Structure formats: structure tokens, C-alpha cells
Homo-oligomer: A and B are copies of this chain.
């Protein structure tokens, strides 16, 4: 069905009736925040933004729009980095009003939340119940949990607790035809048929719209220790990680990597940061250990482990936070990198992963290849080393016009992604595909796998109306190719 102005008017009237006139936005000024993303890499357009207040209203809105042939782009906190929430026509369906905490059960160690709840609010609700919701990343103050689930978000605690996928027990999802799948189960074991929730986690709203979730909670650590370590090289960082993975076992909760360039720009640009170690080193790691066991002193345990690492020559120097404030200050050195890099000029970013064992080779080869391509360029590969996930960002050569540098994004993608692919890695580790990596996925994806993805899309959204054009392009007749 091709929508017409008349059908649009009828549709919008019906939506205003159902959602209330304040929750159907059509004025350009009202729409603007919903069609532009943080980094301003993409600007979209939409007929309207809908703000349903309940699952039933989401279902009504989706059915009404898709029956009228209009596409629907779900949006959470608009903190995504891939353009997955940016509409190219159709309507934006914002989950921002669905922020209810439906239930929390300290015995089951589960929390049931609506998709629009802010991540920080989920964490706080868990904490008030004496528990931990471990999913955490920089945008936690504005990111909404539905977006984290729809993108299978990663973040800083994956070493111990896994990605968003690993924290979801159940989902409620509105399908393309407006039906509601109620999969809100709070079970640790459930093999009653296909595990349907897996379809919707990480599929960026292209197969269904997550409206609520049952999430796993964990014991809240009683003891947390943070160390900042100087190392000779990325290879030494890998040796240290492998040592600590066994030495600290499941009490190792974070292992983040910083090259000297990253530490340098943080100290230069981020107010209040101070040099954590006396000398300069070839690489740095931020390490966190935590336990809920009352008989486990994490500072003592981490100190003893790092003492052994020093004695074995695995590390060159280390400092351990002596208080919560010092731990926060050490984390600030890691978490300040994106802000510092923005102040340092334009950057071209790659969110990639490789098998752990290939991390040092990847960092070395990708760094050398990019520097050879453009004199003065400053590679800044940092991040979730313990997960094999590096944010391989490139800071522009000093003095170069930002636009000239950013025009080379595609060329550096090719260099970096070729190396990642050669190591059996992923060109989209934790941020997803969205618009920004759709063509890269076509290039590097296994052809059989891409065909399976299209089959899934066609099975669940045959009219291609749920977040169209994200992750994979529309299926076309004949051989697989972009339309």
C-alpha cells in the first residue's frame, strides 16, 4: 500500500485519539531532537514522532502505521552511535514515556522494567534492593534500557557479567503487525521451544519493538578494588590479563586498555585528572576486582596478585586505589578518553573485536597501517581489552582541517576492517551496525549468514516496515546486492 496525504491525515487523527494529541508530534521543531543523533553524523526525517505510554498503545501505533504502509523506527535515549535510531521517513516511536519499574524480586534476583527506563535508574533500583544490575556504559544517565537490549550493549563489566544478551531472562515485544509477544519469563532454565527473545536482542528494532524486559540481578559487591598498571606493551597487557583471569578468577570484573596517547590526552584535556604512575610506560591497563563475599578483601587480593605479576616481570608499575574516591579517579582516566579525544580534534572510530590472542597483533598492525597511510595521524586503540573489544579510534593529524580528515573515514574503515576480518574478528563489536556499518556488514559478512538474516527479516517483517534499512538492506530479487 502506498500511503497518501489523506491516509496520513486519517492515521494521525487516529493516533492522536489513541495516544493523546500531546504524544503525536509533527512540528519540525518538535521532531528535530528525534531525527538527529548525538554525533550529528546522520539526520533523518519523519512524518511524526509517537510517544505511546503503554504496551497497548505501542501495539496500536505499530498496527496503525504498518497497516498504512508507514515504517516505524523505535527510539530509546538516542545515545546510539550507528544511526540505528534515525528514521528515513515513516514515524519515530519513542519509548521515553514507558519508564515504569514493573517489579523487582530480591529472591528471584530479577527486575522487570519497561523499555524506556533510563539505565542509571535500573541500576539504582537494583541497588536499593541490595543487588547489582551490572550493565553499564558511559551514556548510562540518558541511555534507555530498551536501547541497550535492542543493541546487545556491552560496556565496562562484560568480563564478569557478559553483554546485555546475557542479562535478559524475558522480553515483551510488539511485532510488525501490532501483536504483542509476552515472553516476560523469570526463569533460569527454559527450553520450551525456540528461545524467541534471542531474535529481538541485538536486532536493533528491525524484527520487533522491545517494550519490557525481565533482567538478571547479581549480589552487590561489598568490596571493590581498582588498580592502574603500567606495562611494556599490548603483549604484556595480554599476558597480564591471562594471568589475572586465573589468579582472580570470577572476581576480575574489568580489564580496560589505554595506549600512552590516550592517557596523555586525558591528562591534558580532562579537568582534575592526575598522572597515576611515576614513569612513562608502553601501555596501561585499568583493572577492577569485586566480590560480595564478606570474607574477601579485594584490595588485599588484587595487591597480592599484582605483586606476583610484578615479581614475574608481567608489569612495570602499579597503583591501587585506597578509597572509593581514588577508585573513581582511576576510572576517570579510562572514561575520560572519548571526551579528551573530542577536544583533541576530529576522530575516525572503529568499534571492533578480535580473539583475545590476536589483540597485540591487531593493535600493532592496524596502528602501523593507519600511520603509514597518513603522516601525523595518531591511533588511539583503547577499551574493553578483556573482551577482545577495542575502540580503534584515529585522532586527526594536528592542524589538518577536520572535514578533510573525516572525508577519509571510508579509506580507514577499509584498512582497519580488513585487518580485523583477517584475524577472524568483528567489525561491529558492541555498538551494532545501524546505518553506519550496513555496507561493511555486506562486505565482510558470510554470504550464507547474510541470507539467513534476510530470511529472518522477511519472516518477521515481510513488509520491511520495522526500522527499515538498518543492519541489512532490503531483500532484492536475484543475487544478494544493495538495491
Contacts and interface: CB of A to CB of B under 8 A. Distances in A.
Interface of A: 105-110, 151-152, 154, 158, 160, 162-163, 165-166, 175, 179-183, 185-196, 198-199, 201-203, 207, 219, 221, 238, 242, 245-251, 291-296, 301, 304, 353-357, 384, 387-389, 424-433, 437, 441, 444-446, 448-450, 452-453, 455-456, 458-460, 471-472
Contacts of A429: 187, 189-191
A106 B250 CA distance: 17
Given A203-B194, A249-B291, A293-B248, A187 B425 contact: yes
A-B pairs, top 10 by smallest CB distance, nearest first, are A198-B198, A459-B459, A250-B250, A249-B292, A190-B426, A107-B357, A219-B246, A192-B428, A188-B387, A189-B429
Prevailing SS type, chain A contact patch: loop
A189 B384 CA distance: 10
B292 A246 contact: yes
Nearest to A151: B191
Contact of A194 (B105, B183, B199, B250): B199
A247 B192 contact: no
Given A109-B356, A185-B424, A191 B294 contact: no
- Copies of this protein in the assembly total 2
Contacts of A245: 109, 219
A316 B196 CA distance: 42
A441 B158 CA distance: 34
Nearest to A455: B459
Contact of A353 (B160, B189, B301): B189
A195 B186 contact: no
Nearest to A437: B192
A427 B389 CA distance: 38
Contacts of A430: 189, 191
Given A433-B192, A458-B459, A459-B456, A175 B448 contact: yes
A152 B191 CA distance: 7
Given A189-B429, A242-B107, A449 B219 contact: no
B293 A251 contact: yes
Residue in A109, A194, A431, A450 with the greatest tally of chain B CB atoms within 10 Å: A194
